[in-house]
């Protein structure tokens, strides 16, 4: 199990993983005025450190002992250390967690790349596809970081942690599951043991392509699910959306080299169901506002957090065209988001498509 972990990103998922890891590795307990001093001394050999793009915001989180913007209501453990310095956050780490939204990975890691320790694994928890390049999160990391490693005959070690993991429920320690995907099965097991807890059961998987694509695509289906909720279109429509949405996600995944069974697992069906039914899901809530009559711009402004499904919809639609994969639901969501198509018209067009076998 890893003992010195650096978390890049101070959003909801980065924060809840910091809490989990502190309890396992560095000890828990309430923050006090001298928490920073204790953390730097007592836990020098077993540490969890957090870095944020905005040093001022990171300082506010540390001072308040709570991430009021992204995970309000949950006190941070005394052992959690905050490090705004780009170089120091990497020093001594034996595992790095990349917990920044997909569309910001390139900007963040271009800033940090000169300080990344060689041969230290990076676990990505981002869910999305980069717009301009159509790369998955681990592909973006590899493009940025592998050039220097190749000169030393080293390869970047990456893994993906994904699944039905709503941050608020994780923070409440409600029973949950996730999977860690990695081609290196030993690294997958090491990460599995590091993140597993009495309330979080982590499985291993070797299909990084499938896990990352499933994680990205489900946000598009979640927007559609929210639209159905906003319209009051009913449970039959929601069930049809989930089953046919999973079918088109699987088609794309297989075309990209993923294993079809991955999409029936935690990263696929599991995450899809949770994202589409949870009232707290950002993408579903965004879609619900549109279903109730708000414009895309109005629905965006009502949400502080990044709505990954918007940018991902562009990327996945482009991937579908690249691989000649039919993705009618993704196309319909794209038309609503980017071509000002009415939601009722989009649904009607889906329903009157030519009949075919399931």
Least Cα distance to 309 among 182, 218, 200 occurs for 218
Q: Spot the catalytic one: 38, 150, 218, 238.
A: 218
Strand ranges in 172-302 using DSSP code E only, listed in sequence order? 176-181, 200-205
The closest alpha carbon to 211, from 109, 134, 138, belongs to: 138
> What CATH class is the domain 4-206?
alpha beta
Residues 147-183: pLDDT tens digits? Answer: 877 767 778 999 999 999 999 999 999 999 999 999 9
Helix orientation angle between 343-351 and 208-231, rounded to the nearest 10 degrees? 110
Across all residues in the chain, what is the average pLDDT?
A: 94
Q: Give the per-residue pLDDT at 1.
A: 79
The pLDDT of residue 269 is above 60? yes
Q: Which residues pair with 47 in a beta bridge?
A: 4
Q: Minimum mean pLDDT among 81-85, 100-104, 176-180, 302-306: which range?
A: 302-306
Residue 28: pLDDT above 70? Answer: no
What is the DSSP secondary structure assignment for residue 25, as one 8-state letter? Answer: I
| Structure tokens given for 252 | 């794309």
Task: Tell me what pLDDT residue 32 has.
Answer: 53
Calpha distance 300→311 (Å, rounded): 12
What digits encode the pLDDT tens for the residues 126-148?
999 999 999 999 999 999 998 87
Q: Is the pTM of this model over 0.75?
A: yes
Residue 248: CA count within 13 A, CB half-sphere: 24
Residue 36, pLDDT score: 56
Share of the chain above pLDDT 70, in %: 94
Mean pLDDT in residue range 319-332: 98
pLDDT at 217: 98
Q: What is the dihedral of CA 213, 21, 15, 133, to 10 degrees?
A: -30
Which residues in the chain are classed under CATH 1.10.1040.10? 209-351
pLDDT given at position 154: 78
Q: What is the bridge-based pairing of β-strands 47-51 and 4-8?
A: parallel
Is 45 part of the annotated catalytic residue set? no
Is residue 37 scored above 60 in pLDDT? no
Which one is predicted more confidently, 66 or 34?
66
Q: Quickly count: other Cβ atoms within 10 Å of residue 153's Cβ.
A: 6
Start-to-end Cα distance in the chain: 45
For the segment(s) 209-351, the CATH number from 3.40.50.1580, 3.40.50.11540, 1.10.1040.10, 2.40.110.10 is 1.10.1040.10
Q: What is the pLDDT of residues 208-232, one digit of tens each?
A: 999 999 999 999 999 999 999 999 9
pLDDT in tens, 40-72: 544 457 899 999 999 999 999 999 999 999 999
The pLDDT assigned to 42 comes to: 45
- Residue limits of CATH 3.40.50.720 in the chain: 4-206
């Amino acid at each position: 199990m890893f003992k010195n972990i650096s978390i890049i990103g101070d959003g909801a998922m980065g924060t809840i993983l910091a809490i989990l890891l502190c309890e396992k590795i560095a000890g828990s307990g309430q923050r006090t005025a001298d928490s920073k001093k204790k953390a730097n001394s007592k836990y020098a050999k077993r540490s969890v450190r957090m870095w944020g793009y905005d040093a001022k915001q990171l300082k506010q989180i540390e001072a308040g002992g709570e991430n009021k913007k992204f995970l309000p209501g949950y006190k941070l453990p005394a052992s959690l250390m905050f490090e705004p310095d780009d170089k120091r956050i990497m020093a001594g780490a034996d595992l790095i967690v990349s917990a920044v939204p997909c569309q910001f990975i390139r900007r963040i890691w271009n800033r940090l790349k000169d300080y990344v320790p060689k041969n230290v694994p990076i676990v990505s928890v981002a869910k999305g596809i980069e717009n301009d390049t159509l790369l998955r999160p681990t592909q973006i990391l590899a493009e940025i970081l592998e050039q220097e490693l190749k000169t030393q005959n080293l390869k970047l070690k990456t893994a993906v942690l994904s699944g039905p993991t709503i941050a608020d429920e994780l923070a409440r320690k409600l029973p949950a599951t996730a999977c860690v995907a990695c081609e290196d099965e030993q690294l997958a097991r090491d990460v599995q043991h590091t993140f597993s807890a009495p309330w979080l059961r982590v499985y291993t998987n070797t299909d990084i392509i499938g896990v990352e694509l499933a994680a990205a695509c489900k946000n598009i289906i979640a927007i559609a699910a929210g639209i159905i909720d906003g319209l009051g279109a009913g449970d039959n429509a929601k069930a049809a959306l989930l089953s046919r949405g999973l079918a088109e996600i699987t088609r794309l995944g297989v075309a990209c080299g993923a294993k079809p069974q991955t999409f029936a697992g935690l990263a696929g069906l599991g995450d899809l169901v949770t994202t589409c039914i949870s009232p707290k899901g950002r993408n579903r809530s965004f879609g619900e506002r549109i279903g109730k009559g708000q414009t895309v711009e109005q629905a965006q402004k009502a949400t502080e957090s990044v709505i990954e499904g918007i940018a991902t919809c562009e990327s996945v639609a482009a991937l579908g065209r690249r691989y000649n994969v039919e993705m009618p639901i993704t196309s319909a969501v794209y038309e609503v988001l980017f071509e000002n198509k009415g939601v009722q018209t989009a649904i009607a067009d889906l329903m009157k498509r030519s009949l075919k076998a399931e």
